[in-house]
Structure 1
Amino acid sequence: MTTPVPVSDHLPKLATPGERLGWIFNDRNLYLRKFMEPVPQPAAAPQHLFDKLSRAQHNLTKKIFQVAGGGVGLALLISCCGGSVGASSNGGAYGFLAFLAFAAGIGGAVWLGTAPGRIKAEIAAAQQQLQYQYQQAYAAWDQRRQHHEYQQRQTVDAMNEWGAATPSNSTRRVDIIGGTTYGWEAVLTVFGGSLLATRGPMVLVDFTGEALCGELLTLASMTERTVQQFRLPSEMSRFDLVGGLGANEFVDCLVESMFGDATGATRAERSQDTMLLREVCAVLEPQISVGRLLAALRVLTDRPVQAALTPDEVDRLLDLQPDEVRRQMHQQLRRIEAFLHPLEEMGSESAAPGDADLTCVIAEGDRRNAQAELLKDLLVQWLARRVRQESGPMGSLVLIGADEVNHRAIENLSTLCERRGIRLVLFYAHLREHTLQTIGGGEVALMRLGNHTEAGQAADFIGKGHKFVLSQLTRTLGGNETHTLADTYGESETHGGSSGWSRSHTSGHGGGSSTYSSSGGTNWSQTRNWSQTESNARGQNWSDAQAAQRVYEYTLEPRVLQDLPEYAMVLVKSEGRGAVVQAVEVNPDIVTLPRVSMQPIDLLPLPDRAEAVHPATRQPSQVTASQPEPLAAHDTAAQDAATALNGWGNAVPQQPQYQQQQQPYQGPWGGRQ
């Protein structure tokens, strides 16, 4: 980025030990618990007082008349008795008794008439006393409730609201995919500052050409750490990527960088270039550099006057091949020269960069030209050699814009850093095919992915969760009944008869005789038969079936990745034998907020949903992406499907009832048998 990075007072706070990719928001209000004591309810007046009032009001007028009438009647009766006595001495007594009877009747009537009022006053007094007791109980309850809420608020206010998001200790590599340059700059400031404070010296290579490490450099300077910065190719003379290499290593490094991962290159071409450069370097030893190699190539292309070479070296180079062979190799030599020409000034002022707490190498210019690609490959090889040789202390290695780095080189770097305990951090701008071949060697952090195809691939990488849904319901109920009644009737009648007569005559000398006979006969027969056949067949069938289908859904929808804020990150993190997805904020200004922890927060169990003020089953900033199941896991398909529609698959339907109407048998002539 070309704009200067403002100096902020909170930057040194980021250089606190403990690796942090950012912070996870943990809603402390989810831990608030309700005051479970029920609210006191006002008690009602005793029921017996209402029953007493009901009895007093029942037929009140009738009772008053009965009591008053009884007293008056008794007074009249006594007065009559006293009148019959006359003027005897007992007359005054009868008058007094009559007065008492009259007064008792009237007094009783008055007592009955005022009884409801007295009972109501008694009820009002009881209700007033109960209301006072209720107010006292409610005040005490409200005081306990306020004390409970105060304690809950004090407990929650003591909790940290932002906890550090850290990579797992078991992984050495972090891949950050997607995002904008501003988001990357924030990650570098937060994560880079923690790496410097935790792991020590860092080497950072920026292939974007935007100098995203500016704020990190400011942080390192403010925390009194040594810093060195190189911009390539403008400062190539101060930075020798091949310094200190032997002839074979020098040649292998150049050939690998020239061909890279080009698919059109053949092994024959690589072998020829390797053999040619080794022969040339054998002449240039022990002082081998890119500038001297270019001078040797120019000698072989008939430009013998080179200040970087001695006359003896020129003669030896010309003696390597006959003139005819050199002319045949002219095209090959010029191709190699074209590759190496931009690097001619490399290391002319300094052999190699020294050791510093933060070493930043920034690749400037167009990243698509041949020089940038060659420089990129040389930088990656220089990093691999530095990690392998352990020439200087290194705690972390950061590559920004690793999209176009050969995946074989990335895998080599990852293996070297893993074996030496170095944290490797790779930033990829896109999730393309070659990136998919590389990621997964460690933990993966996803930032905004604008392209829907890349967002879909990222969602597939995070994974899918399965659940059972009710997909089909079938309920059939049927029955059949067959009733067959058959009558068979048959009758036959036969008539027959015979008749005949005969006569015979006999004559002789003695006389004659004659005989006459006749015979006749009649026969008659009648046959009648009938039969009835009855058969009944009844069948019934029913079924109540349901089908549950296992479906897979994204743990995180692709649209969510496309709509992520600029300073947001989704971290796919290993946890135990499973994986979790965490929502991470990478804004460096979060460090200025209250209740921010620079270390991870151990999440406490959330209260039960019935007890929680804000019911929740988990913290919304974290979701489990995968959890291993035992081999004999309990099959919950039937349970999940049964809850989809209440009543299906649980109750056996009533079997159909068929009414059988038996007809009485009728004989062949319609009579009942």
Structure 2
Amino acid sequence: MSEVRPVRRRSEKTLLGWRHEVLVPSPGPPPRRPAPEEHSDVSAEWVAAQRRSEADINRPLLFVLLALVAIGTVLVLLAMLGAMPFFLAATGWVACLAVALPVVVALMQSRQAVGDRLADERDRRALELEEKRRLLRERQEAHAAEYTEWQTRRRAYEAQPRWHAVEVPPGTGRVVVTGGANVGWSALLTTIGAARLRDGGDLTVVDLSGRAAAGEFVSLVQRCGLIPRVWVLPADLPRMKLGSDLDAAHRADILASTVLAIDPRADIEADRTILVKVFDVLGEDTAIMRVTAALGMLGLPGAADTRDDPALALLSEYERKELRAAFTGDTAAMERAPDLQRALTPFEGLGSRAEQEPYAQVKIIATDRSTGEFAGRAYGTYTLDSLSELLDLRARRGGTGRPWARTIVLCGADTLPGWAVERLVHAAERVSVGLVLMYRETDGNALSWLGADGTLPVVMRQPGAGSAAATAAFLGAGSRGRVHRLTEVVGTALDESAADGYVTDTAESVTAAVPVRYTARSIAPLDLVRHIRSATAWGRATAHAAENDDPVDDDGTDRLTDRRLDTYGLQQLPPTAMVLPAPSGGPVVADANPGILTLATATLTPVGDPAPERIVRPEEEPPANIGPPPERLDWRG
């Protein structure tokens, strides 16, 4: 027997959310079964009416017949009494008989006509009943065929996927998200991360939102048996080695860029030259605290006694002499050194307690909102510039991989300088690393990236009227979208539920039945569905609101509401709603809720994609029925 199996390929696409689309229309109510028409036989009332009509017609003849009988009777009596000659009486009697005979014949014919009419009526009604039965059988046979077809269309309608995956289109290098509350970013991050877990891809999240935007995703990663590497700055700065194992020139570039982010008036080239000289003396792998100590020493007068300064105890006497010699006569550099020291002081603990750790598939670098916007800008710029340097290094080594196999998500891109984000964009583009930029508001930098080539624009709920007006102008006047009730219900239920930090209670920590590891080739879709349902608030909330998944209510009310995507409408979007461009033109509204994957009506096939390719194997001898049963095919792929 020929065997048909789907062709399984490794996915290289990034999932952003779900689009509700009913491709197979509703078949409507079932066809009504034809009912037999009412049939009545010849009723007694109708027969009685016919008899009365006959009696009314024959009444004059009866009167004539009775009169003739009376006359004949009188003639017979008169003849018997001798009052009339017998001959005359006989003549009269014969005359009455001659007249009565046609009357009797007419009455008999009338009775026969009525009987024939009744018989014809009964025959006509019998034929009519037979015709009705024949037509009823034909209609019932047609109804049976229509009902079978309706059942087929109904099963296809009920079994069809209604939530289709929204993926990054081919040829797209970055996704730019404008707007969105913390809970919306959490949903989008979890959805993107789930796609990377399914593919076994690499994901790096730079969370500058001040909240744990990737908190739900961390729970999902742990439930999948993986260990995410989470650094919350500045607390985890001593454990972070990002950028500290580069050469002196690249480390100087990163630190100079960080100083420029803190002080926009700084001369990045001059600062870079100073730092390169310091690294040349202290070594390219020296700690940042030794660099700040050197900068502090350079800011002191040349004749000052620095032997009792504890900050300078990190430098040997030889290093101090070499530093003095390297900057001899460079008055501008020595005057600039104290400013550089103050700017780099927050990074003194970088990598001080770092250990050699294995490669981690999921990496999250976040900033604590208690540090303030200024420190968050500094830590974010250092992180972004370090990632850019690493990507440039990969590009120089020819390390271009599959598009979006490695993904970087930047939450809070509007808190960083535009040049830092631009450098990361170009570095990621050179090595085909997928990039997701999340802006809290639609400012000038966000608008410049929304309309750039190779960008997929995504619009979420806008925080203010100014940002909403700029976004509405980008979408175009008169734009509208349809929002599903499930998006409203789940988004409203979890609004303002984003965690404040990445510190979790050990009593609520996730345990895994498989060995905990840092990487995994892939997570099976059905396992991923189970983990999303159990480990994330999105999965649990979506399971409770699953009754809102039908396209219409029981009373026929449409569950999709039409909304205007203007200044007011963009501020009223549900937290997880996303507005994206449709391939056919015009915006469409999707849902970033990762819990939708747990619904039976969800599919990983986007709208318009063909069915998975299938191959047919030739006839072959079936294998012996031994061993465990084969793995169930996954319909979600």
What does residue 590 of structure 1 align with?
Answer: 596
Whole-angstrom distance in 2 between the partners of 1:351 and 1:280: 25
Q: Distance in 2 between matches of 1:233 and 1:142?
A: 74
Structure 2 Cα separation of the partners of residues 588 and 369 of structure 1:
30
Query: What is the RMSD computed on CA atoms of the aligned residues?
Result: 4.6
Match of 2:154, SS state, is: helix
Rounded to whole Å, the distance in 2 between the matches of 1:466 and 1:73 is 100
- Give the superposition deviation at 1:171: 0.9
Would you say the 8 A contact 1:233–1:363 is kept in 2? Answer: yes
| Residue in 1 that maps onto 2:281 | 283
The one of 12, 19, 22 equivalent to 2:17 is 22
Relative distance call for 1:124 and 1:33 in structure 2 (3 A) is same
Q: CA deviation at 1:346?
A: 1.3
Give the paired residue count. Answer: 491
1:273 and 1:403 map into 2 onto residues whose CA distance is 25
Question: How far has the Cα of 1:227 moved from its partner?
Answer: 2.8
Letter in 2 for 1:402: A
1:315 alignment counterpart: 321
Structure 1 residue 428 corresponds to structure 2 residue 432: no
| Aligned equivalent of 2:462 | 449
> What amino acid sits opposite 1:458 in the alignment?
T
Provide the TM-score with structure 1 as the length reference.
0.61
- 1:444 counterpart letter in structure 2: P
> Would you say the 8 A contact 1:283–1:313 is kept in 2?
yes
Equivalence for 2:290:
292
Unaligned runs of 5+ in 1: 1-14, 46-52, 468-553, 605-673
- Report Cα offsets for 1:498-556 as digits up to 9, x if no partner: xxxxxxxxxxxxxxxxxxxxxxxxxxxxxxxxxxxxxxxxxxxxxxxxxxxxxxxx973
Q: Which amino acid aligns with 1:448?
A: R
* Aligned counterparts of 1:593 and 1:277: Cα–Cα separation in 2: 55
- Contact 1:572 1:580 survives alignment (8 Å): yes
The correspondence of residues 192-203 of structure 1 with structure 2, limited to 5 A, is 192-198=193-199, 200-203=201-204
> Which of residues 345, 359, 365 in structure 2 aligns to 1:361?
365
- Output one character per residue of 1:538-588: Cα deviation in whole Å (capped at 9) or x when no partner: xxxxxxxxxxxxxxxx97334332222223322335x3xx54533323333
**Which residue is 1:382 aligned to?**
386
Inter-partner Cα distance in structure 1 for 2:368 and 2:259? 19
Structure of greater Rg:
1
Q: CA deviation at 1:21?
A: 1.8
Within 1, Cα distance between the matches of 2:11 and 2:246? Answer: 38
Partner in structure 1 of residue 157 of structure 2: 156
Aligned to 2:410: 399
Aligned equivalents of 1:262, 1:572: Cα separation in 2: 38
Partner residue of 1:599?
605
User: 5 Å matches for 1:119-518?
Assistant: 128-129=129-130, 132-133=133-134, 135-137=136-138, 139-198=140-199, 200-260=201-261, 265=265, 269-302=267-300, 304-305=306-307, 306-320=312-326, 332-350=336-354, 355-366=359-370, 368-390=372-394, 395-441=406-452, 442-464=455-477
Q: TM-score, normalised by structure 2?
A: 0.64
Greater percentage in helix: 2
Distance 2:372 2:138 in 1: 81
Q: How far is the alpha carbon of 1:381 from its aligned partner? A: 0.6
Query: In 2, distance between residues paired with 1:24 and 1:84?
Result: 120
| Match runs of 1:514-529 below 5 Å | none
Contact map agreement 1:199 1:396 (CA 8 A) in 2 = no
Query: How far, CA to CA, are the matches of 2:324 and 2:292 in structure 1?
Result: 15
Give the direction of change, closer, same or farther, for the CA distance of 1:158–1:85 in structure 2 (3 Å limit). Answer: farther
1:430-477 CA distances to partner (integer Å, 9 max, x unpaired)? 22233222334411222222423322322222234699xxxxxxxxxx
- Note closer, same or farther for the CA distance 1:99–1:129 as it changes in structure 2 (3 Å cut): same
Deviates more, 1:135-144 or 1:361-370: 135-144
Q: 1:392-432, CA deviations, whole angstroms, 9 ceiling, x for partnerless residues?
A: 98611111121222233323322332332222112222222
The one-letter code sitting in structure 1 at the alignment partner of 2:414 is D
Residue-by-residue CA offset, 1:137-176 (whole Å, 9 max, x unaligned): 5544544443333222222233223222212122121222
Q: Secondary structure at the match of 2:603?
A: coil
Q: Aligned in 2, Cα 1:308/1:134: closer, same or farther, shift over 3 Å?
A: same
Query: Could you give the per-residue CA deviations for residues 22-58 of structure 1, whole angstroms, max 9, x where no partner exists?
Result: 222334772426778996996999xxxxxxx9xx99x
Shift of 1:194: 0.8
- Displacement after TM superposition at 1:60 (Å): 8.4
Amino acid across the alignment from 1:233: P
Q: Secondary structure in 1 aligned to 2:449?
A: coil
Matched letter for residue 421 of structure 1: S
